[in-house]
Structure 1
């Protein structure tokens, strides 16, 4: 697929655009927290705290040229192509064309941020090719402009509350996630997943928005104290609220199983089909408890996605 902008490509400086650029983005495994929150000006915005996961990745390779035409491989990576165009326009490099290649092993439709991975990797690759360093905030804004809604996987070492449809940080919690481990699973492995943009955003009521205020406070404390139990509490309560808008199979059974195996929290993708049991690092008999959970999840027809660590 290509973008055929009508420009005078002979005016482009070929020498300035000779460097290939690379970008790499991790996926996420759903959310710790998602809802509506007040920003510093009192505006109510949709926001989320993404659960980062390094088990799957998206990579982008961009070779700029003076053709004025952008192409992408594979051709169906339309959001990545748009991300390249948006980035070039924002960097005032409208005359640049080039070849974009995207390679990703992030499963689509599960709620792992496959499209955002493509988009973020592309933005980074284009900026890298032009030898321009972008802040995480600017990458976030460009990602939202490119695909309407984006997860906050561009924030590598910071835990933030990100407005996924406005492209801005509502709150920086001032640190990294506390350390914990996750046993991830897919509740609907044979489905086509969830189309994030087609999915109607949750219409949270006043009581739920009040709960989000409290969960935001707990989230802040969890980061400050590096407390896995507190962040697990946030994930569980956020999942309970969002169960009203995108129900997960056997949710009550999942909560009971979580108590049985001693997990500190249950996190779910609020616009996907994955979830995960959260455990404190170094918890006693952790392998045995995860094996017990795995056996039950498989019995229910769920599929294990991965086991991964956060905050280490």
Structure 2
């Protein structure tokens, strides 16, 4: 069954801490990243209007930590960010200060925002949204609030024009990234997947907002509607093979814009190593070869994939699992066998 909602979270209200102090105190926030998209394109909302939307492949690490230290008496727009240059995070913190001050009645003031974490920049892993979300959560924590996902999504879109759905739980959703709202909850969890991650284009950064907007022609809308229906069915049936076909089809459509020279080679090696498909960032260079862990020999297939990537001089990053029962340890993305981000052949930071 298709579930649609105008809010990214079922709880539309913020929740004050039970023991709030009368003045802002130092606050901390955390946010995950993602591993690109399984599907991205243009989709009709419940009113029949075309909306840009995406379904991300979640991953818990790397992530971002933000620490906000209020400076009482300073102008509310005087937010200094460390390291410098994280302008979207600083902007989000200013917006969050205004909202939190209004909701709590406490003075709005500036402060210092410190960001730490290992989300690579410009690869399409949601580094900007991770910064923004962690910053909003740190400011809210300083004001004794826990903002709901809807409020956080609206702040994120204001701060960066388009936002990934990192403020949501691990459920697969079709998310309107330029509006900060869920178009459809696709189900409880993705089918189990083992992902062998890599980088296309040598890991070169991509200017996300500089990419052309996806087309909204009748043919495009029909094509994305078919992929949406197939992904919905893959989630409902726990069908990793169908999900892999959807992700590969979406990735191939994105090549009209991205034009990764290695893409067809990646698809070919995925086929040879018994993978169910490939996924990419539609606004970056990160990619993954998708394997069904329920099929015997998955570890051997993953090893073969890594060797094939090396033979094609495609930079390998790490291997992780995602999907399955959200209440089991395999229900969240995590590195396997000690693999972690590998700087070999490119710079990930």
Q: TM-score, normalised by structure 2?
A: 0.80
Structure 2 unaligned blocks of 5 or more: 1-20, 324-330, 332-349
Retained in 2: the 8 A contact 1:184–1:277? yes
Secondary structure of the 1:25 match is strand
User: Could you report, residue by residue, the CA deviation over 1:27-73 in whole angstroms, capped at 9, with x for unpaired residues?
Assistant: 11110000000111111110000111223111111122322332211
**1: CA distance, partners of 2:251 / 2:232:** 18
| Structural RMSD (CA) | 1.9
**Does 2:289 match 1:277?**
yes
Write the distance in 2 (CA, Å) between the matches of 1:280 and 1:248: 25
2:310 to 263, 288, 298: 298
Match of 1:105 among 115, 118, 129: 118
Which residue matches 1:179?
A: 192
Give the C-alpha shift of residue 130 in structure 1: 1.4
- What corresponds to 1:244 in structure 2? 256
Deviation at 1:214, TM superposition (A): 1.1
Which residue of structure 1 aligns with residue 56 of structure 2? 50
Pick aligned residue for 1:65 from 67, 71, 75: 71
Shift of 1:176: 2.1
Query: Equivalent residue for 2:42?
Result: 36
Q: Which residue of 1 aligns with 2:267?
A: 255
| Alpha-carbon separation, structure 1, partners of 2:230 and 2:215 | 23
Q: 1:95 to 1:267 in 2, by over 3 A?
A: same
Match of 1:229 among 236, 241, 248: 241
Shift of 1:231: 1.8
Q: Secondary structure at the match of 2:22?
A: helix
Residues 19, 63 of structure 1: 8 Å contact kept: yes
SS of equivalent to 1:31: strand
Match of 2:29 among 19, 23, 30: 23
Note the 1:157-236 alignment, pairs <5 A: 157-189=170-202, 191=204, 193-203=205-215, 205-236=217-248
Q: Separation in 2 of the partners of 1:16 and 1:234?
A: 51
Could you tell me how far apart the structure 2 residues matched to 1:223 and 1:65 are?
47
Q: Could you tell me how far apart the structure 1 residues matched to 2:195 and 2:210 are? A: 28
Match of 1:112, SS state, is coil
Indicate if the aligned counterparts of 1:83 and 1:122 stay in contact, CA closer than 8 A.
yes
Choose the corresponding residue for 1:142, options 142, 148, 155.
Answer: 155
Structure 1 partner of 2:5 = none
SS at match of 1:157: coil
Contact 2:58–2:170 under 8 Å retained in 1 = no
- Unaligned 5+ segments in structure 1 are 1-14
Q: Is the 8 A contact 1:229 1:264 kept in 2?
A: yes
Name which of structure 1's ranges 245-254 and 270-279 shifts more when overlaid on structure 2: 245-254
What is the distance in 2 between the residues matched to 1:271 and 1:204?
A: 18
Cα distance in 2 between the residues matched to 1:195 and 1:142? 21
Question: Could you tell me how far 1:274 is from its partner in structure 2?
Answer: 1.4
Q: Distance in 2 between matches of 1:156 and 1:181?
A: 20
Task: Tell me if structure 2 keeps the 8 A contact 1:104–1:118.
Answer: no
- Contact 1:80 1:118 (C-alpha < 8 Å) held by counterparts: yes
8 Å CA contact retained: 2:171, 2:185: yes
- Tell me what 1:7 maps to: none
Q: CA deviation at 1:159?
A: 1.4
Indicate if the aligned counterparts of 1:36 and 1:204 stay in contact, CA closer than 8 A.
yes
Say if 1:213 and 1:120 are closer, same or farther in 2 by CA, change over 3 A: same
1:217: Cα distance to partner? 1.2
